[in-house]
Chains A and B, each alone.
Chain A
């Protein structure tokens, strides 16, 4: 049961243009979402996150949008740079009104390639 889905295995973008990575989830208990970036042979690196009480969070070139009604989030990278080429994972957490978070549930990942 894939509760977090990234339906695009890969994305190719020209340097300077916008990269849009998408993620869908099915579990209504998820209320905190994160994006991680991963290079080969390394662990995932945290990029940006968003709580379900917001619909947008921005950090430099990275913006995450959350559409709760559609159970959909996206990561926008503007402008894209060749160094952004990596695998991007969407992840979700359930807090359910508690005060501590538990495990992350990850999507399958999207390979982003930014061409010079």
Chain B
């Protein structure tokens, strides 16, 4: 399968714990995006990378959130000291910089209890 892959698919964690999600983009794509989706809403932009450089971060991305793409391939999104409001679907997408279409992974469903 050469699509965008996310791991894990589901994560249940206790409030205050740290969690880390991984995204493997389509191999030839130089752009990688993270979005968050809550019930009844469209995906909301969090951050994106071109190769290993983080080009933009949303104001939604509080200090507890950090994303990396160390070698310009896979990316990780870490949430520290999770809160119940962090419960959402976290989506990763990749694209070519000169193309508008982004292709999404299946997402990681985070539940903070």
Chain A interface (Cβ within 8 Å of chain B)?
A: 4, 6, 32, 34, 36, 41-46, 49, 51, 89, 91, 93, 95, 99-109
Contacts and interface: CB of A to CB of B under 8 A. Distances in A.
B96 to A, nearest CB: 9
B99 A101 contact: yes
A79 to B, nearest CB: 25
A103 B93 CA distance: 10
Interface in B26-80: 33, 35, 40-45, 48, 50, 55-56
Interface of B: 4, 6, 33, 35, 40-45, 48, 50, 55-56, 91, 93, 95, 97-107, 109
Nearest to B92: A43
B101 A89 contact: no
A32 B100 CA distance: 7
B73 to A, nearest CB: 19
Which 7 interchain pairs have the tightest Cβ spacing? A106-B42, A43-B104, A100-B97, A32-B100, A103-B45, A101-B100, A44-B104
